[in-house]
A and B are shown apart, each in its own frame.
Chain A
Amino acid sequence: MGRKTILFALLVSVTSWAQEVNVYSTTFAQHYKQDIPGLDRSVYTPLTQFLGIDATGLGKENLSLHLFGWGNFDLADQSRLDGKAVGSISHGYMRYRFDQANGELQAGRFAINHGIGYGQIDGASGRVDLKGGFAISAFGGRSVRHKTQDAEQQHDYEYQRDIIFGTRFSYRLARIGELGFSFVQDGTSTSYYENNNSEMPNDHRRRLAGGDVYIVPIAGLMFTGRTVFDIADRDLNSYLRDDHDSRLAENDYSLAYKFNSSFSAKLNYVQRNLQPYFIGSNFPSLFSAIENDKHRSYSGSVTYSNSESYEVTADYRHIYRNTFGDSDRFGAELRWIKSAMKFIGGAGYHRVSTSGVNSFDPLKPSYSLSHHELRAWAMYDTEKYRASLDSIIHKFDDSDNPNLNGQSLLCELVASVGLKPAENLLISADMTYAATSVAKNEVRCLLRLDYKFGFTAKGGK
């Protein structure tokens, strides 16, 4: 915590050189009680502070600094596992942006999304466009480690590894599309996680290769997707035990077509083989790469929108999981916008049908997970104040489902009122009522203070 504070203070002091500084600050004060059967009654009053700084023009116009982090302080009982006063720097990096070729260099703590996987690293990265439509990006560093519990309790801590690096190479053709090839490696040595249910330990090194594609063959038609392979050199005896398995971790492809400015449709196919897909997890006790499970989903949606006033989307998704069976989710959503009245509203209904899903619960061998989901919300936003209501209901078919603790109707209602005494200041209060399977009736209070400093009237947040 001490080193982080010093580093944060140093980086903040750098912003004094900036030509333009934007500061975002959000303070949350919550109060709620939990009276869960079998546990002590607790009263929580956490105070949470988010702080973000974007400083541009640090000596040179194209040099910028970006900081974002949070601190949490419990004024009553401890609400988090890792302490009553904790904090984290989500990102803190310097970036130099070149005027030519979309060139960019950055160093510090930041998120990587160069093709395969997402990760937060302490390191450096760069990207540049090349002649002929090619582009290249690369990164290297160390995955950010978060020790949140005692090391003995957090026995999979070592799966946050020592070094990470990767690259993406792409080719882009105007009005046609883009092809990208990516590689990422996390860790230099074999890591084993011995699961009690496994016959032998598994090798969890993360070395992935894959490609992403974006093609627009004709105006309005878009084909996007990616394929990822696990390419680490592993002990095949402990890894590919099923002849039908492969190194393929993921296929995720979509085909979307805009018939006109109002009407569009989209199809999506996802295939994930859990063993290679989960193999790089730093949390193998939950995402077990030992499972030889397979996941497929087929989904489609149609959207009709009038950008001035409303959007209606109907969607369907079929999920197949070979160990549990098939399920379906379908429904529709409406978004209604009345700009002149500064009103936005929406409603949605979805049905999740799990008649093909098997139960492996030894306590109750047969129960249904099928349920209805209903959501309705409205927001009124003016220059002086904002008010909103949001409600969501889940109604389950089978009240004997042991996950529900006898509560087949789950609901949450959030009412929020905010005042804007100045252009960049919002003070709001939320009241939440929830009927859940854990707390039968729960009321939560939240106060929020949003402050933005130095914003120029450009772009969004």
Chain B
Amino acid sequence: MAQRKIALALAGILALVFTTACILISTEASFTAVHPQELGIGRPSCTACHSDEPMTNHVRSYAEFDHTSDFISAHGTNAVQNNNVCASCHAPSFCSDCHTDRAVLKPALMYSGRPDKISPHRGDYITMHRIEGRLDPTACFKCHGRANNDRCRACHR
């Protein structure tokens, strides 16, 4: 019963938000769906081709998306705020390789032939996770706290 009430309330809120949004909707064109050129292997640097100016139909500049080590370590923020920019180059499966509720292979094994990629759990992670988990358990939680934890249950019950 409570679930039904919440579902109805949610539907009402969504309808209200949708109606209001239709009136207030932006008239700007959407960001491009697909990057027009093929990108090579390795980390792309947008500013290798583009100048440091705002992207077409977007307020962010190309330089902010140069795939430096800093960018990759903080890619989650961009995925939240600018997933349409990510989607112009990356297919949805690019994210699902690592971010899924149920993974069959650790990312480092999936990409064992691509050492240039940052893939979690390279080396003896069975041993290392005992050390790293003690120093910073929140690092484990980001991927395994709510998802992708079926293998953890073998030992952690």
Contact = CB atoms under 8 A, between A and B. Distances in A.
B84 A115 contact: no
Given A48-B105, A140-B10, A432-B112, A283 B146 contact: yes
Q: How large is the interface on B (under 10, 10 to 19, 20 to 34, 35 or more residues)?
A: 35 or more
A217 to B, nearest CB: 13
A100 B26 contact: yes
A297 interface: yes
Contacts of A277: 138, 141
B127 A403 contact: yes
B132 to A, nearest CB: 9
Interface in B122-157: 122-124, 126-128, 130-131, 134-138, 140-142, 144-147, 149-154, 156-157
B47 interface: yes
B113 A163 contact: no
Task: Count chain A CB atoms within 10 A of each CB in B44, B64, B69 and give the residue with the most.
Answer: B69
B93 A24 contact: yes
Contact of A22 (B81, B91, B128, B149): B91
A102 B127 contact: no
Contacts of B149: 282-283, 286
Contacts, number: 328
A118 B65 CA distance: 22
B26 A131 contact: yes
Contacts of A346: 115-116
Interface in A105-125: 110-111, 113-115, 117-120
Contact of A113 (B80, B114, B152): B80
Interface in A295-340: 295, 297, 301, 303, 305, 307, 311, 313, 319, 321, 324, 327, 333, 335, 337
A269 interface: no
Given A165-B10, A412-B122, A458-B34, A111 B99 contact: yes
A120 B104 CA distance: 16
Interface string B101-126: 11011000110111110000011101
A282 B135 contact: no
Contact of A321 (B74, B130, B136): B136
Nearest to A293: B137
Contacts of A194: none
Given A458-B37, A460-B90, A146 B101 contact: yes
User: What secondary structure prevails in chain A residues at the interface with B?
Assistant: strand
A321 B91 CA distance: 38
Contact of B147 (A120, A307, A319): A120
A74 B154 CA distance: 18
Interface stretch (A1-9, A238-246, A373-381): A373-381
A434 B130 CA distance: 18
B116 A377 contact: yes
Nearest to B144: A283
Contacts of A448: 113
A266 interface: yes
A371 interface: yes
A416 B69 CA distance: 24
A90 interface: yes
A218 to B, nearest CB: 12
A113 to B, nearest CB: 5
A305 B68 contact: yes
Contact of B150 (A81, A131, A214, A414): A81
A17 to B, nearest CB: 18
A227 interface: no
Interface in B1-49: 2-3, 6-7, 10, 14, 17-18, 21, 24-31, 33-39, 41-42, 44-45, 47-48
The 6 closest A-B pairs by CB, nearest first: A377-B115, A416-B113, A148-B150, A390-B115, A52-B93, A174-B59
Given A111-B100, A375-B122, 15 more contacts: A66-B93, A81-B151, A91-B92, A99-B29, A111-B95, A118-B99, A149-B153, A174-B54, A188-B2, A357-B134, A388-B114, A437-B127, A438-B126, A458-B34, A460-B44
19 contacts: A90-B101, A102-B31, A111-B100, A120-B101, A146-B150, A149-B150, A188-B2, A219-B52, A266-B70, A280-B146, A287-B137, A297-B136, A305-B68, A321-B137, A333-B69, A386-B113, A411-B123, A459-B39, A459-B89
